[in-house]
Structure formats: structure tokens, C-alpha cells
Amino acid sequence: MPSYLTLGGILGGTTLALFLIRKYMSRKWGSFTSDLKLDGKVIIITGGNTGLGAEVAKVMAAKGATLILACRNWDRTKDFLAQLRKSSGNNDVHFMKLDLASLQSVREFVQEFQDKYNRLDILVCNAGVWMPMEKNLKTQDGFEIHVGTNHLGHFLLTNLLLDLLKMTANSRTVVVSSSLMRTGRFDPADFDNFHEGRVPEKKAGFAPTGYCDSKLMNALFTRKLAEVVPSMMSVCVCPGFCGTELGRHVQMPWYKKMFFPIVGLLFMRSAFRGAQNITFGALKESENLVNGGFYRECEISEDDMKRLDKFDKDELWKLSAQYTNLAE
């Protein structure tokens, strides 16, 4: 009997400790809601069918926006789309095919969008991949999978949509990056981020080097975009560590799998909560935002802004334009 009591005490104590640690960790998580109505506004969300993109889509649809879910896979979108139309009562929500890992697909998407719409209020560059580097995966155009999809695809997409964004008053671009951009590197004199990707160092962190580099590029791209189009608000956001499908290709040894639920329990927020960082970037009043800024927990991150100073955003823009044949 006393041993049951002891066991109960240990379990209860552990649960309480975990609960308190999570509560402590979550005290700084950003949160955002807005009363803004979006009737008449046209919004594109890349990767709007699942994870963070889907949570942002729910908010935008409920606010009455004309919403385009720019996704690569109809089968992975159709059920969510039907459910979203039903729950929001907004039938002006649509799927349009976009595969960011194909420059041709990006061009076709933009063509189709321009044929249908004559304004673009908010572009949310959210879609992203996280793949094991050892698989050496490439996009259809032969670019390293993370840099090609997460950065180059969005770079071309945004640039091809710039005329519409410029024509629309108070337009905005939100680029979803990550705090992992802190371990990212961009140094064209030293290595080719674009084609082969940066080789992981011996004591590599848990995140793929290509992913970190692509997230750094997202932040540098946003900063340069603000310079190129000062009339538009461009912000970059980190959503925090969230429970989504991003890690679907990660293969963990069994002992790490055992610890992951505990790590998740302590540090991982829901997609619903993480997405508030993205809706903050999309809907916060412009006068309270810094154009080209990097935001974490719904606040400008001065440390990250300083870190970004070290990298050559002009060179990134130049090379990205060259590799995506932007001038064509």
C-alpha cells in the first residue's frame, strides 16, 4: 500500500513539475487577435492546407477575406478546404496549385492568379520543408531542397506578384522564417548554398544546415524587399517551436523518440498558438511595425536584426534573381 502511495506521489509530483515548467516556458509566447474585418481583401497563403498555414487560413476566412490556398497537392487540401468553407461560412476560399520546388509552377500560379484577380492585399510566404541533408534532395530546377523551396520559390513568387502588391494600397508581405536562422549561413565566396547546400559540420546541430540557411535567406530577403518596395510593409516572423507536420521526414533513433514527447510537452506550442505570430505580421497596424523587421513572439527582435547586419542581403537578392531568371 505505501508503495502505491509513493508511486502516486512521484507521478503527481512529476506531472505538477512538468505543468509548472511548461507554464513558465509559455509565459513569453506571443499572442495576437484582431477585430479587423477583411471583406474585399485578397490574401494568398502558401502551404495553407496544414500546420501553421491552415491556422492562419482559418483566421483570414472567418474575417471574410477572399483567400487563396496556394498549395502543391489537391488531395492534401480538399478536405481542409471543404471544412474551412463550412466552418467560416466563407465560400470565397480557393485552392490554386503552387509547387514552390518548381520555378515553372511558380510562374504558372502567378499567371493564373493575375488572370483572376486585380489586387493582392496580403501575401503570406509560409510553406516550408525540413528534410534530412544526407538525402541530398533537389528541387525540379536542381537547387538544394530547402534553399530552392523555402527561399527561391518564395523569392520568385513575391517578385512576380510585386506589380499587383504595389498597385494595392496598404499591401503587405509576411515571410515565415525561424529562430534557427541564427545558425544559418550565407557566404557565396565560401560555399554554394544554392546548389549543393552547406555541408553539415562535424558537431552539427539537430536542424538541417540547408533549412537554417534557407530561413536566414527568408529574413534577408524580407529586409531587402522593404528597401526595394518601401510603399509595402514586409515583415519576417518566427512562429516558435510548434506541433505541425514539419518534422514528418525526420527519422529518430528509438531513444530520442522516447524523449521527444517530454520535450514536446515542455516546449512545443500548438499550431493555433504559433500561427498568431503570423497573423500578427499580417494584421498588426502598419504604424506599429518596422518595415523589413524580424519578429519573434509578436515583438521586434533587435538581437536578430543585429545578427542579420552581418550578411550581404544585396548579394543574396542578386544571386536569387539570377538563379530564378527573374528578368525573363
Q: Which residues bind ligand NAP (CB under 6 A)?
A: 46-47, 49-53, 71-73, 76, 98-101, 126-129, 149, 176, 178, 238-239, 241-242, 244-246
In the bound state with ligand NAP, the residue whose beta carbon lies nearer, of 176 and 220, is 176
Cα 90 from Cα 82, distance rounded (Å): 10
Cα 143 from Cα 214, distance rounded (Å): 12
Q: Read off φ and ψ for residue 230, nearest 5 degrees.
A: -65, -20
Rg (CA), the chain: 20
In the bound state with ligand NAP, the residue whose beta carbon lies nearer, of 168 and 246, is 246
Q: What angle do CA 174, 79, 84 make, to 5 degrees?
A: 55
Which one is catalytic: 211, 255, 295, 323? 211
- Classify 14 as helix, strand or coil: helix
292: left (phi over 0), alpha (psi -120 to 50) or beta: left
Least separation in angstroms between residue 142's CB and ligand NAP is 14
Q: Count CB atoms within 10 A of the CB of residue 105.
A: 17
158 sits in which H/E element:
helix 154-160
Beta bridge mates, 299: 296
Question: Could you tell me the three cell numbers for 252?
Answer: 529518430
Least separation in angstroms between residue 123's CB and ligand NAP is 14
Task: Please say if 211 is a catalytic residue.
Answer: yes
In the bound state with ligand NAP, the residue whose beta carbon lies nearer, of 24 and 267, is 267
Nearest-CB residue to ligand NAP? 51
Question: Could you tell me the three cell numbers for 287?
Answer: 504604424
In the bound state with ligand NAP, the residue whose beta carbon lies nearer, of 47 and 292, is 47
Least separation in angstroms between residue 317's CB and ligand NAP is 20
| CA pseudo-torsion sign 225, 229, 230, 231 | negative
Question: Could you tell me the three cell numbers for 141?
Answer: 530546377
- Classify 154 as helix, strand or coil: helix
**Of 323, 316, 309, which Cα lies nearest the Cα of 187?**
316
In the bound state with ligand NAP, the residue whose beta carbon lies nearer, of 241 and 311, is 241
- Cβ density class 121-140: b for 16+ within 10 Å, e for less: bbbbbbbbbbbebeeebebe
In the bound state with ligand NAP, the residue whose beta carbon lies nearer, of 168 and 219, is 219
Contact 98, 106 (CB under 8 A): yes
Least separation in angstroms between residue 158's CB and ligand NAP is 14
Least separation in angstroms between residue 35's CB and ligand NAP is 25
Active site amino acids:
211
